[in-house]
Structure 1
Amino acid sequence: MRSSLASGVRRREIWAWAMFDFANSGYTTVIITAVFNAYFVAVVAEGKPWGTLAWTSTLAVSYALVILTAPLIGAYADATARKKRLLLFSTLGCVACTAALALAGPGALALTVLFLVLSNFCFGTGENLIAAFLPELARDDALGRVSGWGWGLGYIGGLVSLGACLAYVSWAQAQGQTAAQFVPVCVLITALLFAIASTPTFLLLKERSQPQPASEQGAWARFSRTLRDAGRYRDLMRFLACTVCYQAGIAAVISLAAIYADQVMGFSTQDTLMLIFIVNITASLGAVAFGWLQDRIGHRPTLALTLLGWLAMVGMIWLASGPALFWAAANIAGLCMGASQSAGRAIVGLLAPPTRLGEFFGLWGQAVKLSAILGPMTYGLANWLSGGDHRLAMLITGSYFVLGLLLLASVRLERGRRAALAS
């Protein structure tokens, strides 16, 4: 492990950095993927035909806020050397607003939408900031491995939160409780675990960046310069376009998985929780294994392999009429999910100038959040316009992986790394 670390970085610091992935994965697993999304459609939206579109639209608003602010927040963090402080603020905001989602229920649509938007905005901001630490912690030839360790530990964190919720739901259902009673408790469990598990990050992770001269501390001026110089970073820009496409497909799968399982496959809440629990195990294994593979065969071939896996998964879900094929497809998605997200973060770390990590990971965050609008909205609109055909909506969403593969073929990582180091 030590041979993978940058000079002066200690093992406990890598663990503390990866623990943030562990901590925040409970939010995406429980709130976005496994529990709260289906609860939003069935209980908060009271099963109305527009429920799925309301869910995807709410997420779209939160992602739009991240798109508008991410590069500016990143540029400010670089200029003032305050990545860690801003990470703390975003974490506190996400924990508080997640806990407030316990108030969600029938007749509380506006309140639920408000706290969902705020919690997801804070989550997305923190996700960008923690990623900006990666190039400071790992050597260039180990970015894939170290990124994979973080994603792998992150999925274990998702398992912990999901496992705690699954245990509570099993007990609550045995007591005759309804979703309106046990889902708010699951939300509080998720917020508490996020707060506890992220504590090592703020105790042990160091802020290594140095404040820039006062004349260069204007966040808007720094971001404007990046836009003017975009042509110098054409491989990064091409990769960000690629990211928008393939992450759109991933975002649709993540945010609609529980809804698809409920509406198409007839899964109960407990069945869905168990499915996501198992998928998180395969995702953790995929992140670690493919992270190692990235540093052996290269980032681009590894990412291409995972995108082919995503296409296979979409085809299997479209064909699935029973639980066996659906379970197989879900586990392929798990393997590809950890791998593709880990690979994307490592590639941006390779292509970003060393003195502007927060800003460029903010651009990456913009791309990811734009995809998180496009993918679920495409699914939601396709589902609505087709009269509730979830299978067709999933098939249409799969086209994003094809576009991602085509754009990835135009990216040259060696050229992009030279451009980053020359900045």
Structure 2
Amino acid sequence: MAASSNSSEPVTRRERFAWCMYDFANSGYTTVILTAIFNAYFVGVIAAGQGSGDATLLWTLAMAAANALVLISAPVVGAIADYSGAKKRFLTITTIGCVVFTALLYFAGPGDIALAVVLVILATFMFASGENLIAAFLPEISTPQTIGRLSGYGWALGYLGGLLALVLCLVYVKYAEKQGIEAAQYVPVTNLIVAALFALAALPTLLWLRERATVAESFDSAHIVRQGFSRLRATLREARLHTDLFRFLLALTTYYAGIHIVIVLAAVYAQEVMGFKTQDTIILIMVVNVTAAIGAFLFGHLQDRIGSLRCIAITLLIWIAAIGCAYFADDTLLFWVAANLIGTALGGAQSAGRALVGQFTPPGRQGEFFGLWGLATKLSAIIGPLTYGGMVYLFAGDHRIALLSTLGFFVLGLAMLSAVDEQRGREAANIKY
């Protein structure tokens, strides 16, 4: 029997805080592993013997493989979680998996390309799957009037979590450099710092966030899997009833391709084009996290006033301006301007996008629909970085030319938003069928 909802049970402030804390917990992985330190370490140390162009392509291929796994599994896993009332159980498994595989990255040193690729694929798969599952709780613990605000609080707290991870790593890096330790020895330790912070900060979520769906009678695993695929097929057949959701997911896939380029390649660009060192990059990403937290907080409140769709459009205009500044930056000043614009837009775009999907989601099908959201974001995580990596490879390591692909994704995504009607999408979420 399918899961039934216990959504009538009151949601406490502690539970909402626990939900937000997961954003705080997992942001260290995005910030340190994918954005600031390990990605640049992979290109500049682990795969340095392959040359900058080939090493960058290898990194983007690893990201593409991880996100392809999520793309294939996310909607079905979400539907299974809804049917079995096991969103929290799945969230626990993915959290433990990400923590373990991140810690194991400690053992990837110069030349250990295969080991690093396998581990980062597994860790990223677990991270991204958990990201989809925690998002599926959002409609259950908020209202249509507060969903944007709560999503914004989560993203804002998440950027503070990423900032804390970077501060801890920076303290250790400075200490290690004073001791004369080389990057090949001290960078792996930052993976252990991220894993430990993730494990500790996720405890409030795993202890206090409640599963609001229960299973009325026993079931077998094979039946749940079949039901998961069946519900996914039904959702795709019903696409005409959720026109605005699917139009938005197409637009999101497009502009998120640009966002994912920035997330996984910002440190590489700073290192290869602007000549940033490890400490410079950490400080850069720390500042970006602060502006991103501010952006998520402000846009979280703004979207409850003017609508999520308009907020996303505003952030995309900021993204376009930021990429233009980065492209023309010949000195660090203009690059820092671009970085802070990126931070503001990053927080706002991610917060508003998650909230809008929540508004377009029918009750009781959160895991399934946020699985579709995960499918869209992970498809973009394949398209974006691979496009950038392919251009770097084709243009003999020229990162500046490759950056133009990012601009194209944002312009096209902005144009596609015009086909989405926010009010109609909300009404479709309440259709009984």
Q: TM-score, normalised by structure 2?
A: 0.95
The 5 A counterparts of 1:7-406 are 8-49=10-51, 50-211=54-215, 217=224, 218-406=227-415
Distance in 2 (CA, whole Å) between partners of 1:227 and 1:138 is 26
Which letter maps to 1:332? L
Check whether the contact 2:49–2:111 (CA below 8 A) recurs between aligned residues. Answer: no
Which letter maps to 2:281? T
Q: Deviations over 1:40-78 (max 9, x none)?
A: 011110252300000000010000000000011000000
The DSSP-based 3-state class of the residue aligned with 1:181 is helix
Which letter maps to 1:203? L
Distance in 2 (CA, whole Å) between partners of 1:27 and 1:143 is 25
The DSSP-based 3-state class of the residue aligned with 1:353 is coil
Going from structure 1 to structure 2, the CA distance change for 1:212 and 1:338 (only over 3 Å counts) comes to farther
Counterpart pick for 2:419 among 395, 410, 416: 410
Distance in 2 (CA, whole Å) between partners of 1:94 and 1:181 is 22
Q: Deviations over 1:201-231 (max 9, x none)?
A: 0111011123378699511111111111111
Check whether the contact 1:78–1:212 (CA below 8 A) recurs between aligned residues. Answer: no
Distance in 2 (CA, whole Å) between partners of 1:171 and 1:106 is 21
Which letter maps to 2:96? L
Moved more, 65-74 or 393-402: 393-402
Distance in 1 (CA, whole Å) between partners of 2:106 and 2:126 is 17
Going from structure 1 to structure 2, the CA distance change for 1:175 and 1:405 (only over 3 Å counts) comes to same
Check whether the contact 2:24–2:159 (CA below 8 A) recurs between aligned residues. Answer: yes
**What's the offset of the Cα at 1:412?**
0.6
Distance in 1 (CA, whole Å) between partners of 2:39 and 2:359 is 35
The DSSP-based 3-state class of the residue aligned with 2:82 is helix
What runs of 5+ residues in structure 1 fail to find an aligned partner?
none
The DSSP-based 3-state class of the residue aligned with 2:415 is helix
Distance in 2 (CA, whole Å) between partners of 1:146 and 1:417 is 18
Check whether the contact 1:6–1:138 (CA below 8 A) recurs between aligned residues. Answer: no
Distance in 2 (CA, whole Å) between partners of 1:147 and 1:310 is 20
Q: What RMSD in Å do the two structures reach over aligned CA positions?
A: 1.4
Moved more, 319-328 or 224-233: 224-233
Which letter maps to 1:39? Y
**What's the offset of the Cα at 1:403?**
1.1
**What's the offset of the Cα at 1:192?**
0.4
Check whether the contact 1:144–1:342 (CA below 8 A) recurs between aligned residues. Answer: yes
**What's the offset of the Cα at 1:373?**
0.7
Distance in 2 (CA, whole Å) between partners of 1:211 and 1:70 is 21
Q: TM-score, normalised by structure 1?
A: 0.97
The DSSP-based 3-state class of the residue aligned with 1:65 is helix
Check whether the contact 2:316–2:414 (CA below 8 A) recurs between aligned residues. Answer: yes
Which letter maps to 1:224? R
**What's the offset of the Cα at 1:7?**
7.0
The DSSP-based 3-state class of the residue aligned with 1:141 is coil
Check whether the contact 2:292–2:343 (CA below 8 A) recurs between aligned residues. Answer: yes
